[in-house]
Structure 1
Amino acid sequence: MRVLLSKLPRPWIVDEKKDDGYTALHLAALNNHVEVAELLVHQGNANLDIQNVNQQTALHLAVERQHTQILLVRAGAKLDIQDKDGDTPLHEALRHHTLSQLRQLQDMQDVGKVDAAWEPSKNTLIMGLGTQGAEKKSAASIACFLAANGADLSIRNKKGQSPLDLCPDPSLCKALAKCHKEKVGSRSPSMISNDSETLEECMVCSDMKRDTLFGPCGHIATCSLCSPRVKKCLICKEQVQSRTKIEECVVCSDKKAAVLFQPCGHMCACENCANLMKKCVQCRAVVERRVPFIMCCGGKSSEDATDDISSGNIPVLQKDKDNTNVNADVQKLQQQLQDIKEQTMCPVCLDRLKNMIFLCGHGTCQLCGDRMSECPICRKAIERRILLY
């Protein structure tokens, strides 16, 4: 496998699908071929999130088969992709855990019904029970591992079930919630505080806090002492035409102004007061968007940065629209790539590049073309073969 991957003429072959949508990584995850999966991911750069005809990723299959060594999470697989039924890998893990519990309960009832004289049967059932206990433990461990790595506990499938709805075990539900909370907590408070402190520092002197709004770009990059020396915005590199020192909120006078109004470009109100305004108090222009201070500094806001005044749902709709546009672009590019493959690949073996053309205009690779007496496309007799260089 290592040699094959090193000799690949075209890297995308690693992600080629069968008729059922399975890639090489799907098959490795399904059959627990750990070394093959590692080579495909690390050497072949296989796409971890490709879906088969059932919209399952390799992670879905690994969880479904309880292959704990091949979960692909540390390699960066997305944890919340849904299959055709709307199930995420966490849904699969908890469903498997619940089913193993039910089978264990059924076997316990069967053991009670077996006559004491049938010792071999009883021993067989007890051995099977132990195996299912291990299986249940494995399923629970996988679920906790997914939750600890950030899997969403609230995503609902097409039946309206969240992962926790599939888990009747209250102790496991608490453990999952705890794992998820620890993951979210570990990556949010400290990181956000450190980022905000860095973003508030002047990008020139690093001693003072940023307090000057550049126009027309609307970024805040320096303190008022350093701003006269800056000719281009340090964030977007746009020419600085105006510099405005950020003063206290003109409404409450308690806090500093912290929200940029657009399209007018004024920052004259704090967050609390800005949310109440329909028009800019400085120029009386209608406010279409509000941009938080942290975003003007080049950071990311925890809330929606472009809150539309007319309706609170419009930003979400805009986001969905953007996602739809991106998906359409991706599908278009995928179709273009497929067209290029069809134009350049041999139509007979589908493996080598087309480098031989017949007089009819169709072509194949040299290896296939040398063996043919008629064109595989139009069935005309091959009178002459022309090699492409």
Structure 2
Amino acid sequence: MTIVFEFISSSSRFVAGTRDATSRQGARASAGVSQCKICADAEADVVFKPCGHRVTCQECCLRCKLCLICAKPVQAKVRSDGQPVQATQANQRRQQELDAKLKELEDRHQCAICMERTRNVVFLCGHGACTECSANLDCCHMCRVPVERKIPIFSG
């Protein structure tokens, strides 16, 4: 709701400003239009199925897995024109970037020898492997420095 807070020589302007804002809000409420509960910038125009609540805009609904009102799982998201909501190209690109980052993090903690188990032993040179692969090593598989000590690491 927009209220004019300026007093310019008469209070009639303040009252008129308040009346305009109130009438806009009343018109919006009577039309059944509400703001997005997440961003509060756009119109809430996406209906969650099966509960039928309409609380978010098309941009914000992509992140919702549960209804914000009843907390039921959202099985489908439908726009006000009846079309299902599709992820935008920007969101798809962002998802691909996040998937690549996740793969990189997983690879960083994976044994470089067997590529199956988590790296849980580190050598003094700083390289590492899993317990099973490191049991057979006399020198580091990466830099060929003799392995003097095998230090177990724990990921919690």
Length-normalised TM-score, structure 2: 0.48
Q: Tell me which of the two structures has the higher relative contact order, counting C-alpha pairs closer than 8 angstroms and 6 or more residues apart.
A: 2
Structure label with greater radius of gyration: 1
Q: Which has the higher helix share?
A: 1
Length-normalised TM-score, structure 1: 0.21
